[in-house]
Structure 1
Amino acid sequence: METTAQRHLTDRTTSDLYFHAERTQPVPDSLGQDLLLRVLDEVDYGLLVIDAQGHIRHANHLARHEMSTGRVIVTHARSLLGRNTELTTQIQSALEHALRGQRRLLQLKQGEHELSLAFVPLSHPLEFDAPTVLVLLSRKNACDNLALRMFARSQNLSPSEEAVLLALCRGASIPEIASDHKVAESTVRSQIKALREKTGCGSIRALMQKVHSLPPMVPALRVISAMPHNAMEFAQP
Structure 2
Amino acid sequence: MFDTHHNQAAAPVPLWSLLIAMLDEVDFGMLLLVDTSRVLHANYAARAELDAEHPLQLLGDQLRVRHAKDVVMLRRALDDAAARGHRRLLAVGDADNATTMAIVPVGRPACGARGATLVMFGKRRMCQDLSLHWFASAHQLTPAEAEVLRGLCDGEPPRAIAQRQHVAISTVRSQISAIRSKTRSSNIRALVRQVALLPPLVSALRSSIAGACPPKT
TM-score range for the pair, normalised by the shorter chain length: 0.7 to 0.9
Output the CA distance in 2 between the equivalents of 1:229 and 1:35.
12
Aligned to 1:101: 85
Measure how far apart 1:85 and its partner are: 1.7
SS in 2 for 1:164: helix
Amino acid in the other structure paired with 2:208: V
8 A Cα contact 2:148 2:175, kept in partner: yes
Aligned to 2:34: 51
Measure how far apart 1:35 and its partner are: 2.0
Q: In the TM superposition, what are the counterparts of 1:135-214 in structure 2 within 5 Å?
A: 135-214=119-198
8 A Cα contact 1:103 1:121, kept in partner: yes
Instruction: Name structure 1 gaps, 5 residues minimum.
Output: 1-26, 232-237
Aligned to 1:116: 100
SS in 2 for 1:37: helix
Moved over 3 A (4+): 125-130, 142-145, 225-229
Aligned to 1:222: 207
Q: In the TM superposition, what are the counterparts of 1:72-91 in structure 2 within 5 Å?
A: 72-91=55-74
Output the CA distance in 2 between the equivalents of 1:224 and 1:88.
27
Structure of larger gyration radius:
1
SS in 2 for 1:171: coil
Output the CA distance in 2 between the equivalents of 1:181 and 1:129.
57
Deviations 1:190-214 (A, max 9, x none): 1001111110110000001111100
Deviations 1:147-167 (A, max 9, x none): 211111110111111110011
Aligned to 1:4: none
SS in 2 for 1:163: helix
Q: Which has the higher helix share?
A: 1
8 A Cα contact 1:177 1:188, kept in partner: yes
**Cα 1:151/1:62, change in 2 over 3 Å:** same
The number of residues matched between the two structures is 205
8 A Cα contact 2:128 2:200, kept in partner: no
Output the CA distance in 2 between the equivalents of 1:53 and 1:109.
20
Deviations 1:94-146 (A, max 9, x none): 10111110001101222511111101111225668751001100121244431
Deviations 1:182-237 (A, max 9, x none): 11101101100111111011000000111110000123422328557702xxxxxx
**Cα 1:53/1:163, change in 2 over 3 Å:** closer
**Alignment root-mean-square deviation, CA:** 2.3
- With the length of structure 2 as denominator, give the TM-score of the two structures: 0.85
Quote the sequence identity (%): 36
